[in-house]
Amino acid sequence: MLFGTAGNSDSFYAQGYKSTLQAPGWLESLGLTAYEYSFGRGVSVSRETAEKVGEKAAEHHIAVSVHAPYFINLANPDPEKRENSFRYILDAARAARWLGGERVVVHVGAVMKLERAEALRSCADGLKEAYRRIDDAGLSGIRLCPETMGKYSQIGDLRETLELALLDARMLPCVDFAHLHALTGGGLRDEADFARILDTVERMLGPERARQMHIHFSTIEYTPAGEKRHRTFAEEKYGPRFECLAPLLKARGYCGVVICECKGTQAEDAREMRRIWNAL
């Protein structure tokens, strides 16, 4: 199992580092092995810079994934905005290839004024089209990872995400346990709660594919509408807690990637997850 960060933590900059080129070496010094490059506000990195980061990641044994722009909404019926969503996904796939990665995390869309089933069908059709364009661009090794979402207004509860992942054998779900915790009103409290999620993933995708899944983990603050903001492990009143998930992942032979999205402390909290894992 690989552990790493979504972007750079506050401590990275506090220690005087400024460039993402320095991130792989810094992460290796902490004993971490993964890094998720966020393109949430758009893919703006040049190929030259991305390839340099990729070289550094390979040098320091860091597995790179990317997060596609947040603007994507494959349920939007507006032709121009839908076309923009395809472009964002393709841009993120190209950047992943430059960085030496293959996993691209995607927020697939929002319900808007559609019926939920209609929005889900539109997202499914959109992912199929996105893969056609990815293949046409010579990027067939890219693994899109539709993410479980934390708000009721978004497409991406657990079952929806798994149904989307079944559209193409290359896809893996990005199971964000904080989002699921928020979506269920704090429903991930003990090992049995986490086991039900893993059971569902394994039943729908098969154990082998489930074991490779992409994982986002942090604590989270939520409201009746769902996710409000990500929190840190030190804020003990917030869940979910990795101590309840790690033994299950270990016992079932999971070997994917765990990316920490804690707010500002993602490196420290990723190390804590790795410590919990290694202690099992």
Reported as a pLDDT band with limits 50, 70 and 90, residue 263 is very high
Confidence of residue 98 (pLDDT cuts 50, 70, 90): very high
33/255 Cα distance (integer angstroms): 13
User: What is the structure's pLDDT at 51?
Assistant: 98
For residue 102, which phi and psi values (nearest 5 degrees)? Answer: -135, -15
Whole-number pLDDT of residue 140: 95
For residue 219, the surrounding DSSP H or E stretch is strand 219-223
Q: How far apart are CA 42 and CA 53, in angstroms?
A: 18
In 10 A of CB 206, how many CB atoms?
11
pLDDT grade for 128, boundaries at 50, 70 and 90: very high
Q: Comparing C-alpha atoms, which of 161, 257, 261, 258 is closest to residue 221? A: 261
List the structure tokens of 47. Answer: 């190929």
**Which phi and psi angles does 94 have, rounded to 5°?**
-60, -45
What's the chain's average pLDDT?
98
Residue range 11-36, pLDDT digits in tens = 999 999 999 999 999 999 999 999 99
pLDDT digit string, tens, across residues 171-188: 999 999 999 999 999 999
pLDDT average, residue stretch 250-277: 98
d(CA 174, CA 79): 27
Main-chain dihedrals φ then ψ at residue 34, nearest 5 degrees = -145, 155
Domains and CATH numbers, the chain: 2-279 (3.20.20.150)
User: What pLDDT, in 10s, does the model give residues 185-201?
Assistant: 999 999 999 999 999 99
Given this model, what pLDDT does residue 49 score?
97
**Strand 109-110 vs strand 154-155: parallel, antiparallel, or unpaired?**
antiparallel
- Of 122, 129, 159, the closest CA to residue 144 belongs to 129
| pLDDT at residue 209 in the model | 97
